[in-house]
Amino acid sequence: MTGNSLDRHMPLYAQRTAGMRASAVRSLFAVANRPEVVSLAGGMPYLASLPLEQLSAEVGRLVAEDGLVALQYGSGQGIAELREQICQVMALEGISAHPDDVTVTVGSQMALDLVTRVFCDPGDVILAEAPSYVGALTTFTAYQADVVHIAMDDHGLIPEAVAAAIVAVRESGRRIKFLYTIPNFHNPAGVTMSDERRVEIARICRDAGVPILEDNPYGLLGFDDKVHRAIRADDAENVIYLGSFSKTFAPGLRVGWVLAPHAVREKIVLANEGSTLNPPVFNQMVVSRYLSNFDWQSQVKAYRHTYAERRDAMIGALRTHMPEGTTWTYPEGGFYVWVTLPEGFDAAAMLPRAVTARVAYVPGTAFYSDGFGSRQMRLSFCYPTPERIVEGVRRLAGVLENELEVMRTFGAPLTRQQLRGPSSPSPDTA
Amino acid sequence: MTGNSLDRHMPLYAQRTAGMRASAVRSLFAVANRPEVVSLAGGMPYLASLPLEQLSAEVGRLVAEDGLVALQYGSGQGIAELREQICQVMALEGISAHPDDVTVTVGSQMALDLVTRVFCDPGDVILAEAPSYVGALTTFTAYQADVVHIAMDDHGLIPEAVAAAIVAVRESGRRIKFLYTIPNFHNPAGVTMSDERRVEIARICRDAGVPILEDNPYGLLGFDDKVHRAIRADDAENVIYLGSFSKTFAPGLRVGWVLAPHAVREKIVLANEGSTLNPPVFNQMVVSRYLSNFDWQSQVKAYRHTYAERRDAMIGALRTHMPEGTTWTYPEGGFYVWVTLPEGFDAAAMLPRAVTARVAYVPGTAFYSDGFGSRQMRLSFCYPTPERIVEGVRRLAGVLENELEVMRTFGAPLTRQQLRGPSSPSPDTA
């Protein structure tokens, strides 16, 4: 055996495993979970409004009445009844789909994994927003695909930038496999793609032969009760759509789905079988009964109300406490605000001091594959109460003041150039 | 867009996707699920003895009491309490392990996927029994690893053959990543590795620097109530162990696990997070409460009793009905009998005629990556009642008689040479 003496398996790992690294902030987050820390880091939905008593009875009945089915192996595509209900859910976003084109997955994270598995060889390029969802970047890295980030602003991805990126990547001789986008209430950027841009980006991608992977976990969480029309609604052939019950119902069941053109769907089902044999039947039946027997849309409305109140608390606190030159996005739904600090700040370097001051966030660099984002941070308003959010932002502002003090005394450190990103209410001055 | 006009995405697929093919027998199995067909094909556990009423109450209490935890996101490694309980389960097989080295997965299929992901680049070699579990072969193919099958007999893998294969593969300049084995009540071969061979094979692999991937879903299902000592029990450094609650409790929850040396475990947790974020918390808590609050070992005993009775029914029927020259293994646990037909038969070609005669099985070729197994079939005795099993074997014997009749009239078709395999009670004469 050769190699690292601490890990005798080192010489045996796959190349992709070199890209699997524990986040540098992981150990900090263990601390950040302590109750005295206000965590604006996590993306946990706030479930307290779930009707647990009725759910308890429903789940009990499921086991008593249908236990031998719920506890047995099932189909690699997922149970038919739930796939029909998923089509009804997607119809709210203008999507017309057949249940046969839906595959149920272990959360939409598994759907991301399967789509990447089906499409990406090492070195292939995936286009994604700048910034993009950290879980997607992890998956793309696991398949050794390269992410090319595309500029967005307060109205989402910029169509001209998409077109230019396609040309540039192809001119460099590389293969683009798809454009990954979160059009609604973006994680982490908090912005929403305008309807006009959806149409235009769909056209650009269709014309260029670049499929769109539309990831939409937050689509029903718009605070003005408006549901945006999905990109998939107007292009059934070039768009693969990912959905999830993690934010509209509960993440602990890990039930998501992928809607794909039929030929792609066949590959995805085979990949699903290879990964898990089948998603848990029990969980699918719980979700199916929940959709049938509960007023799930009112529950989503309750979630929206909770999150809107928290968004307001966070935006108000940012206005009150943030130092001059700080900008942030104004999310009309979802869980996240994207904050850009004034020049000279390094959000990743600052995090240990923030945790010491009992507030946590995710540094912007987590959401880029290319090292950008050092002046940005993602603040979540989904889980803490409004009072805790205000207190957390207040603490964060205190940390920033201390940093400013140090910079005034010793001068700002050199930071690398910033990628322009979404930054309402005032423009990113980098 | 170029390529197949039926699937415009064809030019965009990853290379691995070419290896994802629907089984040729898939459409037949849709027919085989009809109630008039006796299916000896599937590996579904028979769950009727589960205490559904008590389970219903327990699951209901879980939601009422701990719903906000059970329905929330969780850790990528799995909940701590269940990992401790899993260590207690593994202790029954002589394994001494720390909960920190256990990762909970979506069934042990997901564990297979993660281990392969962490270790295998395209072209790497995995050693596996001849025949081997079809779901593992699917996963290995998805990662473009090559399987080299190793001869087994009625006492499992043959140590000399393992040693010879390691030398031969390395001499051919290829990298071996691990030996995949199911030591107990093998799927599909129905045989069990002797204790002496476990020690010897562990030594051979350790000396050669080839990790062992020990897959043990059936270990507690020995019909004489004997639990074999796991290979992992005597080698914590070179063995990665996979376990599952699918056969000892219920597969519909999809809860399995992997026990790995600490450095490997870290990679597996990262891969798990990339795949699903975390295995469903709800399901883990159901299993944890089941292990705590139910007499789960008596339930396993009830399963053993059921399956032993069915094994006896199948072996008796094979003795009574099978044509001369047919051989089969005698499983001392688990779900499967491996049948070798007399020369001239082709179990895959015969399957449509068997289904017409209202009996189904899995042709042996499914369990080889190299086209062998054409004279073999896997018969499952786990799900049908003893009466149905006897009727199924009787029908199968009728199909074989018809085939023989055709062969007597027209002569046997040419078949490719057979790989020697386990075949008690009489030797494989191929």
Each residue of B348-385: pLDDT tens digit?
A: 999 999 999 999 999 999 999 988 999 999 999 999 99
Question: Tokens 């009830």 correspond to what residue?
Answer: B302
CA distance A306 to A430: 34
**What is chain B's Cα-based Rg?**
22
CA distance A420 to B189: 60
Domain membership of residue B181 (yes or no) is yes
Closest approach of B428 to chain A, Cα-based (Å): 32
Residue ranges making up the domain that contains B383 = 16-49+298-410
Closest approach of A266 to chain B, Cα-based (Å): 8
Task: Report yes or no: B64 at the A interface, CB cutoff 8 Å.
Answer: yes
Question: pLDDT band at B19, cuts 50/70/90?
Answer: confident
**CA-nearest residue of chain A to B256?**
A276
- Do A34 and A100 belong to one domain? no
CA distance B255 to B265: 17
CA distance A160 to A171: 16
Domain membership of residue B353 (yes or no) is yes
The arithmetic mean of pLDDT across residues B45-52, rounded, is 96
- Do A187 and A319 belong to one domain? no
Question: pLDDT band at B417, cuts 50/70/90?
Answer: very low
The arithmetic mean of pLDDT across residues B291-313, rounded, is 97
**What would the 3-class secondary structure string for B205-254 be?**
HHHHCCCEEEECCCCCCECCCCCCCCHHHHCCCCEEEEEECCCCCCHHHC
- What CATH number has the domain bearing residue B74? 3.40.640.10
Question: What interhelical angle do B107-119 and B134-142 show, nearest 10?
Answer: 40
Nearest to A72 among B8, B251, B271 (CB): B251
At residue B125's C-alpha, the angle toward residues B121 and B130, to 5°, is 140
- Do B288 and B309 belong to one domain? no
Segment 139-158 of chain A within 8 Å of chain B by CB? 139, 141-143
Residue B199: how many other CB atoms lie within 10 Å: 15
CB contact under 8 A, B119 and A250: no
Domain membership of residue A364 (yes or no) is yes
Question: Given this model, what pLDDT does residue B415 score?
Answer: 53
Task: Report yes or no: B8 at the A interface, CB cutoff 8 Å.
Answer: yes
Question: Given this model, what pLDDT does residue B421 score?
Answer: 58
pLDDT in tens, chain A (430 residues): 344 457 888 889 999 998 887 766 676 777 777 889 999 998 999 999 999 999 999 999 999 999 999 999 999 999 999 999 999 999 999 999 999 999 999 999 999 999 999 999 999 999 999 999 999 999 999 999 999 999 999 999 999 999 999 999 999 999 999 999 999 999 999 999 999 999 999 999 999 999 999 999 999 999 998 999 999 999 999 999 999 999 999 999 999 999 999 999 999 999 999 999 999 999 999 999 999 999 999 999 999 999 999 999 999 999 999 999 999 999 999 999 999 999 999 999 999 999 999 999 999 999 999 889 999 999 999 999 999 999 999 999 999 999 999 888 887 665 544 445 565 433 232 2
Provide the phi-psi class of B352: left if phi over 0, else alpha when psi is between -120 and 50, else beta: alpha
- Do B189 and B271 belong to one domain? yes
Task: Report yes or no: B50 at the A interface, CB cutoff 8 Å.
Answer: yes
Cβ-contact A381, A309 below 8 angstroms: no
Residue A290: how many other CB atoms lie within 10 Å: 24
* End-to-end CA gap in chain A: 51
Contacts of A198 (CB under 8 A, 6+ apart): A183, A228, A229, A231, A234
Q: Which secondary structure element, helix H or strand E, spans residue A67, and what is its range? A: helix A52-70
- Do A107 and A246 belong to one domain? yes
Backbone angles phi, psi at A257, to 5 degrees: -160, 165
Question: Given this model, what pLDDT does residue B64 score?
Answer: 98
- Final residue of a structural domain among A245, A270, A293: A293
Work out whether the CA dihedral A117, A122, A128, A132 comes out positive or negative. positive
**CA-nearest residue of chain A to B74?**
A252
Peptide bond into A323 cis (omega under 30): no
**CA-nearest residue of chain A to B53?**
A64
Peptide bond into A131 cis (omega under 30): yes
**Residue A177 CA: distances (Å) to CA of A240, B122, B144:** 12, 20, 19
- Do A158 and A263 belong to one domain? yes
- Do B252 and B135 belong to one domain? yes
CB contact under 8 A, A121 and B15: yes
Work out whether the CA dihedral B311, B316, B322, B325 comes out positive or negative. positive
Task: Report yes or no: A281 at the B interface, CB cutoff 8 Å.
Answer: yes
Domain membership of residue A57 (yes or no) is yes
> Helical H runs in A244-326?
262-276, 281-293, 296-321
CA distance A423 to A429: 9
Domain membership of residue A418 (yes or no) is no
Domain count, chain B: 2
Domain membership of residue A217 (yes or no) is yes
- Final residue of a structural domain among A253, A270, A293: A293
- Do A199 and A67 belong to one domain? yes
Sheet holding A125-130, edge to edge: A102-106, A255-259, A239-244, A212-215, A176-181, A125-130, A146-153, A156-157
- Do B316 and B221 belong to one domain? no
- Do A111 and A217 belong to one domain? yes
Residue B324: how many other CB atoms lie within 10 Å: 6
Question: Given this model, what pLDDT does residue B25 score?
Answer: 65
Q: How many CB pairs under 8 A join A and B?
A: 255
Question: Given this model, what pLDDT does residue B24 score?
Answer: 61
Mutate to test the interface with B, among A9, A112, A265, A284 (most CBs of B within 10 A): A9
CB contact under 8 A, B67 and A52: yes
Domain membership of residue B115 (yes or no) is yes
Strands B239-244 and B255-259 come out as antiparallel
Closest approach of A79 to chain B, Cα-based (Å): 12
Task: Report yes or no: A263 at the B interface, CB cutoff 8 Å.
Answer: yes
CB contact under 8 A, A64 and B52: yes
Name the DSSP class of B419: P
Question: Given this model, what pLDDT does residue A422 score?
Answer: 64
- Final residue of a structural domain among B250, B276, B293: B293
Q: Identify which of A127, A95, A106 has the alpha carbon closest to the alpha carbon of residue A204.
A: A127
**What is chain A's Cα-based Rg?**
22
Question: Given this model, what pLDDT does residue A24 score?
Answer: 61
- Do A243 and A313 belong to one domain? no
Q: B99-146: per-residue pLDDT in tens?
A: 999 999 999 999 999 999 999 999 999 999 999 999 999 999 999 999
Closest approach of B62 to chain A, Cα-based (Å): 8
- What CATH number has the domain bearing residue A329? 3.90.1150.10
Task: Report yes or no: A200 at the B interface, CB cutoff 8 Å.
Answer: no
Q: Residues of A with CB below 8 A from B282's CB?
A: 252-253, 283, 286
Mutate to test the interface with A, among B117, B141, B235, B245 (most CBs of A within 10 A): B117
Closest approach of B295 to chain A, Cα-based (Å): 18
Segment 311-370 of chain B within 8 Å of chain A by CB? none
- Do B68 and B45 belong to one domain? no
Domain membership of residue B415 (yes or no) is no
Cβ-contact A28, A368 below 8 angstroms: no
pTM, two decimal places? 0.94
Closest approach of A17 to chain B, Cα-based (Å): 6
Task: Report yes or no: B20 at the A interface, CB cutoff 8 Å.
Answer: yes
Q: Identify which of B160, B152, B159, B209 has the alpha carbon closest to the alpha carbon of residue B182.
A: B152
Question: Given this model, what pLDDT does residue A429 score?
Answer: 29
**Residue B406 CA: distances (Å) to CA of B232, B356, B403, B413:** 50, 17, 5, 10
Nearest to A55 among B50, B53, B67 (CB): B67
Question: Given this model, what pLDDT does residue B418 score?
Answer: 45
CA distance A319 to A328: 10
Q: Identify which of A216, A186, A221, A189 has the alpha carbon closest to the alpha carbon of residue A46.
A: A221
